[in-house]
Structure 1
Amino acid sequence: MATIGLRDIYFFPILTDTEEETTYDTGIRIGKAMQANVQPSFNSAELRAEDGVAATADARGVTTVTVQTDDLSKKSQSVMFGKKINSDGVLVDSEDDRPPYGALAFRSEKANGAYRYVVLYKGKFTLPESNYETKQETPAFQTPTTTGRFIRRESDRLYGNDADDDDSEIDKSIFDNWFDTPYEETPEA
């Protein structure tokens, strides 16, 4: 079913990502959601033999994610872009900033009123462009758009998950904590 809305965009910095496990820090709501564009990429190759294509191979590339919010607080920028807030409370832009890898989670309302929940497990965002414009007769809002590049996790080679809360095969309790920590499959007993 088609989606008609977007809400609750959260970023969870990765603490560790090893072959054994991936752990995340507490998430932060990065702003009021306006737009999220997720673009996976795939690369293909062809083996040519006997005057034709004998075989093809595909590999998944980087997933590009573009997020637009109403604003990015200094706390959000500190967490997402590895920036420091100095002792005066000012957000500092430094050559030493190191954006962390992290998970991105959000939900999108469907046309029937249910929600599609999405999580991407490992990506890093770049600083948004800053636009400023003088006031006109009709005000024009300037909002931040940031772009991230998402890859698979080391621990399980997963890129992400999505789930619809109106899917009768899904236990509804998984949606209760979607924005507390990135969704992980419930271990079998």
Structure 2
Amino acid sequence: MAIKGLKDLHYAIITEENESETTYGEIKKLGPAMALNLQPSVNRGNLRADDGVLFSDAAKGPTAVTLNTAYLEEEVEADILGKTLDDNGGLTDSINDDPPYIAIGGRALSARGGYEYFWIYRVKLAPAEENKETLQETPTYQTPNLSGESVPRLNDGKEKYKLWDKSPKVKDETIFKDWFDQVIDSDYKPGTGGGGVEG
């Protein structure tokens, strides 16, 4: 699908996960969206015999994630990167920082009209690259550029879900009203709300 926009980025921390279920915490706004890039990795192997390739196989690896926002609120940065936020609003970077797995959701404007809604189920981000420059005659902006990896959920192997709101196959449009109230899955149930449990 041809995409020409991105907005309404949200996240939910995975609070508990095992081979039976994945539990998400409260869904919160992430930051003003600038760019989101997903780069899947595929590992290929060939069995050669009789001077040729007899068999070829492939296995999916982690998906590289790059996320660019206009800014991150202090609470959000602490949440998604495992940093410490003090009572004065200050952020501390530490060797003990442990970013949690999170789900990332949003919607992207489609060239065919409407929006493509999405959730990426299990992402771990690394600290943002920081650039600071002196003021120039022509203003330039340095914005947070986060990178990380998306991997499958432990309980069902799912990685992401997307749905176009103009698809003629959509049977229950309530799903779009609930999109940022719960981490949406293919087994969507209206009105679950508040992150939720997948299993």
Report the TM range for the smaller structure's normalisation.
over 0.9
Query: How far does residue 69 in structure 1 lie from its aligned partner after superposition?
Result: 0.6
Instruction: Give the whole-Å Cα distance in 2 for the aligned partners of 1:86 and 1:187.
Output: 38
Letter in 1 for 2:5: G
Q: Does 1:173 align with 2:174?
A: yes
Q: Aligned-residue CA RMSD in angstroms?
A: 1.4
Alignment of 1:7-156 (within 5 A): 7-156=7-156
Residue type of the alignment partner of 1:31 = G
Distance in 2 (alpha carbons) for counterparts of 1:28 and 1:97: 21
Q: Which amino acid aligns with 1:13?
A: I
Query: Which structure 2 segments of 5+ residues have no match?
Result: 190-199
How far is 1:186 from its partner?
A: 2.6
How far apart, in 2, do the equivalents of 1:140 and 1:108 lie? Answer: 26
User: How many Å apart are 1:82 and its aligned residue?
Assistant: 0.7
Aligned to 2:156, what secondary structure does the other structure show? coil
Once the two structures are superposed, residues 17-37 of structure 1 have per-residue CA deviations (whole angstroms, 9 ceiling, x without a partner) of: 211111101122121001111
Identical aligned pairs, as a percentage?
A: 38
| Alignment size in residue pairs | 188
Opposite residue 49 of structure 1, the aligned amino acid is: A
| Equivalent residue letter for 2:185 | E
Residue in 1 that maps onto 2:194: none
Q: 2 CA distance for matches of 1:73 and 1:85?
A: 11
Moved over 3 A (4+): none
User: What secondary structure, in the 3-state scheme, does the structure 1 residue paired with 2:77 have?
Assistant: helix
* Unaligned ranges ≥5, structure 1: none
Q: Secondary structure, in 3 states, of the residue corresponding to 1:128?
A: strand
1:87 positional shift: 2.8
Q: TM-score, structure 2 length as denominator? A: 0.90
Deviates more, 1:81-90 or 1:97-106: 81-90
